[in-house]
Amino acid sequence: MRRTEPSAGRIDGYAPLRDYAAIGDGRTVALVARDGSIDWLPTPDLDSPTVFAAVLDGERGGRFELVPEAAYQVERRYLPHTNVLETTFHTASGSARVSDALTLPGEGLEPFRELQRRIEGLAGTVRFRWRVEPRLGYGGARMRFGSRFGLPVASSGADAVGVIAIDAGASAEGWSGAFETAHGSSHLLVLSIAHQEPLVFPNRRELDARFERTGEIWRRWTAGRTYDGPWREAVLRSALALKLLVFAPSGAVVAAATTSLPETVGGERNWDYRFSWIRDSAFTLEAFLRLGCPAEARAYFWWLMHTTQLDAPRLRVMYTFGGRRPAPERELPLNGYRGSRPVRIGNAAADQLQLDTYGELMQTAWLYAEAGNVIDPDMSRRLGEFADFVAGNWRTADSGIWEVRSEPRQFTQSKMMCAVALDKAAQLAERDSLPRRHRDHWLREAAAIRDFVETRCYSEERRSYVRFADGEELDAGVLLGLLHGYGDASPRLNSTVEAIANELTDGVLVHRYTGDDGVPGSEGAFLACSFWLVEALARVGRVDEAADRMDELIGLSNDVGLYSEEIGPTGEFLGNLPQGLSHLALISAAAAVGEASA
């Protein structure tokens, strides 16, 4: 996955979202632009305030620039099977390579979080300039600047960052510098980050060893993956992207690494995705199992069952990585990506009723049990309570999978997933993984839900399941219900796939739905839906068509194999990135096409 392209142009100081690669350490993620600027880094954790947020405000957000002074072309890749990014700059006078990593913890005294940028001269000479502009607290914190042992330090409250520059021509105050590479030369810039503890300033030997070890840990993790189907490189890159979104201290999987990257440039559909959505749970667990990640699957399921304990039998739509309710949604005084305001943190959708989440959770439990894991009595009791809740509440209108902010409705996909929830609960009860006493009641209610869906949520005119009861609008979300087992082998499944393929698509890209959702503005095509359509086509036997679409979708990733949430009409990335659901859907679609082809 190596492409040489001209240096990316910024518009009003903002790099195209497609230009960003992600690096991370299992606690936080940084975004690195093709021009060498790190424009996003929350610290210490992914849902913490940022030290760099230039992607959301080019003036106040803060960034870490590292760029050749002369005109350049860029070649970029991840070091094979790692999340270590390599950016090679070619100028008229020579070439040099920048390797970026958030290093992984090991033994010994090391910074709380550490960003390493290693520069090597490859040929001729390249003159670089660099500048670190830390802006803690989303650019809003009152900061103190000083120095320790001659190294620059910035602090605010319990947070501090320091810069170590080795052979990098640091200026007197230490926050910027310039240097020239020569063939074989080596230069190092390090950001040491502290939170509620003193800063640690490692020496060169320790830094080298940790960088080496970081690459080795990533390679070892990738080598352990067992996926052997088609599009293997793209699947492994998606697995590595997904691993960046696993919050290692708790095992939670975050939806995306950013907040408020817009669904339309200049628009107001800007949301904070740094939470773990129950909606993604079944895909997540299935992906972990398919990739041969039993440890991650188990950790995730334990986290899921612990986290949902306090609200049971209700489910929140999303939780923080620590298992808490997300903070109330609020707006930050930032300009937003290319003027896309507001910039939000927190997420008001957390308190919505989304009935589909129960189906996802029960499907997840089913997959967990099918993989040979034990559902203990506590989990069993709680899952039974969830099933009872669905049986008693499926008739309630909800906000649906797409979290519309308009009036709740009888969304078809929600009903389908309620049926899936009760079917799976009954199946788990049959194998004594859930209490048996309500099994018949669950089956009766599942049949009632099917009756509702088949009589009120299918349009003979559109020859498709529709977005909500008695409506005529289409919704690609119903594909998810079908993929999770609602209506297996039904002729209506085929016709719905056909209708969505004909009416919600723009080439290989699929839009989520037609109609109003309570938020002004429009959005791009939704990548996860595009992959769901591939999977659905494979499931109904249209394997060649599915494979062709898959080839095209794989080609729509950015130069390092990452995807955002959506893609705009000219191929631009839109929405938060890297987007877990896009990568999960890619893994699932690739596996489904592989299985259908076998």
Closest CB to other proteins among residues 211, 218: 218
CA-closest candidate to residue 472, choices 526, 412, 393, 390: 412
Closest CB to other proteins among residues 195, 338: 195
104, 345, 425, 509: which one binds other proteins (CB under 8 A): 104
**Beta pairing class for 176-181 and 186-195:** unpaired
**Phi/psi-derived region of residue 110, left when phi > 0, alpha when psi is between -120 and 50, beta in every other case:** beta
Q: Give 258's DSSP letter.
A: -
Buried b (16+ CB within 10 A) or exposed e, 204-221: eeebeebbeebbebbeeb
Closest CB to other proteins among residues 182, 295: 295
Distances 85 to 16, 29, 406 between C-alpha atoms, Å: 18, 12, 42
233, 370, 376, 432: which one binds other proteins (CB under 8 A): 376
Considering only the stretches 224-232, 242-250, 531-539, 578-586, report the one whose residues sit in contact with other proteins under the rule CB under 8 A: 242-250
By CB atoms closer than 10 A (0-12, 13-18, 19+), residue 419 is buried
303 binds other proteins (CB under 8 A): yes
39 binds other proteins (CB under 8 A): no
306 binds other proteins (CB under 8 A): yes
Q: Tokens 């670089």, residue? A: 128
Closest CB to other proteins among residues 24, 267: 24
User: Using an 8 Å Cβ cutoff, are 492 and 465 in contact?
Assistant: yes
Closest CB to other proteins among residues 324, 431: 324
321-350 residues in contact with other proteins (CB under 8 A) are 321-324
Question: Among the residues of 324-438, which ranges form H helices?
Answer: 356-370, 377-393, 412-430
Considering only the stretches 72-80, 140-148, 316-324, 497-505, report the one whose residues sit in contact with other proteins under the rule CB under 8 A: 316-324
42 binds other proteins (CB under 8 A): no
* Nearest distance from C-beta of residue 591 to other proteins, angstroms: 21
User: Using an 8 Å Cβ cutoff, are 59 and 79 in contact?
Assistant: no
83 binds other proteins (CB under 8 A): yes
d(CA 76, CA 100): 11
Considering only the stretches 231-239, 297-305, 458-466, 562-570, report the one whose residues sit in contact with other proteins under the rule CB under 8 A: 297-305
* Nearest distance from C-beta of residue 104 to other proteins, angstroms: 4
51, 85, 189, 217: which one binds other proteins (CB under 8 A): 217
277 binds other proteins (CB under 8 A): no
Considering only the stretches 9-17, 18-26, 491-499, 531-539, report the one whose residues sit in contact with other proteins under the rule CB under 8 A: 18-26
**Phi/psi-derived region of residue 84, left when phi > 0, alpha when psi is between -120 and 50, beta in every other case:** beta
Closest CB to other proteins among residues 41, 66: 41
Closest CB to other proteins among residues 131, 195: 195
161, 170, 299, 420: which one binds other proteins (CB under 8 A): 299
17, 21, 22, 24: which one binds other proteins (CB under 8 A): 24
Bridge partners for 30 per DSSP: 23
Bridge partners for 78 per DSSP: 85
219 binds other proteins (CB under 8 A): no
Considering only the stretches 340-348, 373-381, 534-542, 581-589, report the one whose residues sit in contact with other proteins under the rule CB under 8 A: 373-381
389 binds other proteins (CB under 8 A): no
* Nearest distance from C-beta of residue 161 to other proteins, angstroms: 17
192 binds other proteins (CB under 8 A): no
What are the phi and psi torsion angles at 240 (to 5°)? -70, -35
10, 79, 219, 302: which one binds other proteins (CB under 8 A): 302
201 binds other proteins (CB under 8 A): no
User: Using an 8 Å Cβ cutoff, are 539 and 558 in contact?
Assistant: no
Helices (H) and strands (E) in the chain, counts: 13, 29
Question: Among the residues of 170-320, which ranges form H helices?
Answer: 204-223, 232-244, 281-291, 294-307
Closest CB to other proteins among residues 211, 411: 211
d(CA 132, CA 110): 21
580 binds other proteins (CB under 8 A): no
Q: Tokens 């008693």, residue? A: 392
CA-closest candidate to residue 406, choices 516, 319, 309: 516
In the complex, which residues of this chain contact other proteins (CB under 8 A)? 24-27, 44-45, 83, 104-105, 112, 195, 217-218, 221, 243-244, 246, 248-252, 293, 295-296, 298-299, 302-303, 306-307, 309-312, 321-324, 374, 376-378
